[in-house]
Amino acid sequence: MEGVANFAAACCRKLRKQHSLAHAVIVFISTNGFKAQAQYYQSHLITLSVPSNDTAEIIACCRNALKKIYKEGYAFKRAGVIVSDLIRETDALPDLFDTRDRQKQRRLLNVVDEISKKNGTDKIRLAAQGTGKAWMSKREYTSRRFTTNLNEIIEVKTDAHKKI
């Protein structure tokens, strides 16, 4: 659950940064397709009654989705969160039956985002996000990123004194 919660928190951070709200959230999990073991892939779509970029609300939705799709006995390799049906914050219509104090939550999230901006992300976390990094993706077999990382750019060595 920690990994999914952290992915959801990252999505919410990005939504707030671009002043967007999500109307739907997709949670997915899968086993390693390259291993000879029982395979399982499942996803679940949650449609929010009110579009949101609230980390606590999105993580709660992800937890409920994960409870529906998780099966005991599988060695899961991948998990993820996708936010969709995005709209601008200014285009959101209030829901007459919404009991959540959205303005209070927005003020709280603004303070959290300011603290994160000054001190680095993940300094303030929800309990569902955990404190460990055991869930983080492993990057053991990644290809070099010649075109996107200056530290991995291709170097060509030539003998400058050699006449051709």
Closest C-alpha to 17, from 73, 64, 98, 83: 83
Assigned token pair, 38: 């029982």
128 pLDDT above the threshold of 70: no
- pLDDT score of 127: 58
Measured CA to CA, the distance from residue 39 to residue 32 in angstroms comes to 7
59 pLDDT above the threshold of 80: yes
56-78 burial string, b = 16+ CB within 10 Å, else e?
A: bbbbbbbeebbeeebeeebeeee
24 pLDDT above the threshold of 90: yes
Q: What is the mean pLDDT of residues 93-114?
A: 78
12-47 burial string, b = 16+ CB within 10 Å, else e?
A: bbebbeeebbbbebbbbbbbeeeeeeeeeeeebebe
- pLDDT score of 133: 67
Measured CA to CA, the distance from residue 30 to residue 85 in angstroms comes to 23
Task: Go through the domains of the chain in sequence order and give each one's CATH number.
Answer: 2-134 (3.30.1490.100)
Measured CA to CA, the distance from residue 52 to residue 17 in angstroms comes to 13
pTM given for the model: 0.70
**Helix (H) or strand (E) segment spanning residue 156:** none
- pLDDT score of 131: 66
Q: What is the mean pLDDT of residues 114-132?
A: 70
102: Cα separation from own chain's centroid:
22
Assigned token pair, 47: 């449609």
27 pLDDT above the threshold of 60: yes
Q: What is the mean pLDDT of residues 110-124?
A: 74
At position 32, the amino acid (one-letter code) is N
154 pLDDT above the threshold of 80: no
Q: What is the mean pLDDT of residues 113-130?
A: 70
pLDDT tens digit sequence for 33-42: 777 788 888 8
86 CB-contact burial (10 Å; exposed 0-12 / middle 13-18 / buried 19+): middle
